Structures are given as C-alpha cells and as structure tokens.
Amino acid sequence: MISILLALIAATGYGVSDFFGGIAARRVTALRVVVVSYPWSVLLVLLIAPLVGGAADTASMLWGLAAGVASGLAVWWFYAALADGPMSVVSPVTAVLVAGIPVVAGLFLGERPGVIAVAGIGLALIAVVLVSREAPDETTEEIIGGRELRFSRRVALLTVGSGAAFGLTFFFLHETSPSAGLWPLLGQRAAATAVVWISALGAREFGGLHGEPLRLALWIGVLDVIANAALLYAFHGAMLSVVSVIGSLYPAATVLLAMVLLGERISATQKLGMGLALAAVAMIAAS
C-alpha cells in the first residue's frame, strides 16, 4: 500500500511539473526550461542524498545513469515530435508506451499480479490514452504559422522512440538496489542534464531564464526530484508492472490543474479517462 501511495505521489509530481512546464513554455521554449530545471535537480539531489544515506554500489549507479540517458533522450525526442506532429496523436501514443513497456517487462521478469490488479492495470492503460488525447488546437495551428501537422514517418519514429525511452527509464530505476538510497537518482539527473544540454546546444536553445519562467523552472526541478525519489522507493517495494502503470497516470494531474486553475475545458474523452484512472488505482490498491 505504501508503494502505491508513493507511485501516486510520483504521478502527481510529474503531472504538476508538466503543468508548470506548459505555463513556462508559453513564454519560452520547453527546452530552455529543462536546461535550467535539470541541473537544479542535480544540486537538490546532492543536498538530499547524504541525509537519506545508502551505499552507492556500481550496478545501481550504472542503472541510474542509464535511466538518465533514457529520460534525457525521451524529453528531446518528445519535444521534436510535438514540433512537427499532431499532439492528439503524439501524446497518447507516447503515453501508452510509457505505461505499457514496463508492464510487459515486469511480466517477462516473472511478475504475476492478481486478477484484480491485472484488470486495474488494463484499465489504467486505457485511462492513460484517454487522458492524454487532445483535440487539435487551433491556437497551436496559428502559432506554427498555419503549417499542417502530419504524423509522418519521422514523427512516428520520434514518438515511438520517446515513449520507449520513457518506459525504459522506469525499468532502469526499478533495477537499482534499495540499499543505494538516492545516489542512483543523482546519476540519473546528471546524465539527463548532459543529454538535454547537448540537444539544447544543437538546437541553439541554450539561453538564460528570467522572471516567471525561471521561477517555474526551479519549481519543476523540485517536483522532478520529489517524483523520481518517490518512484524509486515505490519500485523497491512493489512490482514494476504495478508501480509503473500508476506512475504513468501523470497526465491526469496536468489536465485537472489546467481545468481548475486555468479554466481550460476538457473533453468528454479526457473526463472518462480520469474516471477510469481513479477506478484503476482503487482496483490495484485493493488487490
């Protein structure tokens, strides 16, 4: 039960972080935000990890570094896919891969959740797709100059690559040792920072932030650390297939905040997805 709660905390942290990132991205590009938030998260982990304790064994640190490379590539490819592809397709395809790959990996490793948990996992996978699905945004079409957004072969590869990389991030974190404390998270954040910086330099998006975007970037860094730490401990107490699918419900928190704080209207499909997400969590927790 504690692991389920930690997974929910992780999903909420990711969702709120994405909400703040979306607000910041209305003034600057998303890549410029993570260029600041990622190294800030490294400093936060450096401050917290010694207090938590643990011994940084080689295997766990390597898994952490692998998770960082995967998450950094996932962010890079996801933004690239959104730049040229329709969000209504890119987002749900990415989401189902984020949730589905760790579930398949867990089953392959021999995990056998109970019948109710399996039903909850299946329901959660459907919920992730529904919550992530958005109707084409006319404002976005105007911002990009009326350019047609097509799910081309390149966009499809970026989308699948991003979803797979996010999913592998969950798997790699699961493989770390509980005795390593938060030290693998330090490797993860450092490696992700390196990947994001390289992509930002290549895209010429390596610029400073000021005012509200800077404040939001700092909050995003804090939320990322909380979410990743909660997920790390959740993985050490429960099955990969169960924790990962709950952690992947983060779009629900983003959509809910956009509705409550920004007054954005959400579609009937997204409302259904949020309802299914609640039912899925209840079923998994009860199993």
Q: State pLDDT tens for residues 45-97.
A: 999 999 998 898 999 999 999 999 999 998 888 888 877 777 667 777 888 88
Say whether pLDDT at 274 is over 50: yes
- 148-205 pLDDT, tens digit per residue, is 567 788 888 998 999 899 999 999 999 999 999 999 999 999 999 999 999 888 888 7
Structure tokens given for 209: 């932030």
Closest by CA position to 123, among listed 259, 248, 255, 231? 248
Q: Cα–Cα distance between 245 and 248 in angstroms, integer? A: 5
Q: Cα–Cα distance between 48 and 37 in angstroms, integer? A: 16
In Å, what is the CA distance from 231 to each residue of 20, 236, 240, 243, 267?
Answer: 20, 9, 10, 8, 29
The pLDDT, as a whole number, for residue 97 is 87
Section 256-280 average pLDDT: 86
Share of residues in the chain with pLDDT > 90 (%): 40
Section 1-25 average pLDDT: 88
Share of residues in the chain with pLDDT > 70 (%): 93
What is the chain's alpha carbon radius of gyration, rounded to the nearest angstrom?
A: 18
Say whether pLDDT at 147 is over 70: no
The pLDDT, as a whole number, for residue 179 is 94
Distance of CA 117 to the CA centre of its chain: 22
- Is the four-CA dihedral 172, 178, 184, 186 of positive or negative sign? positive
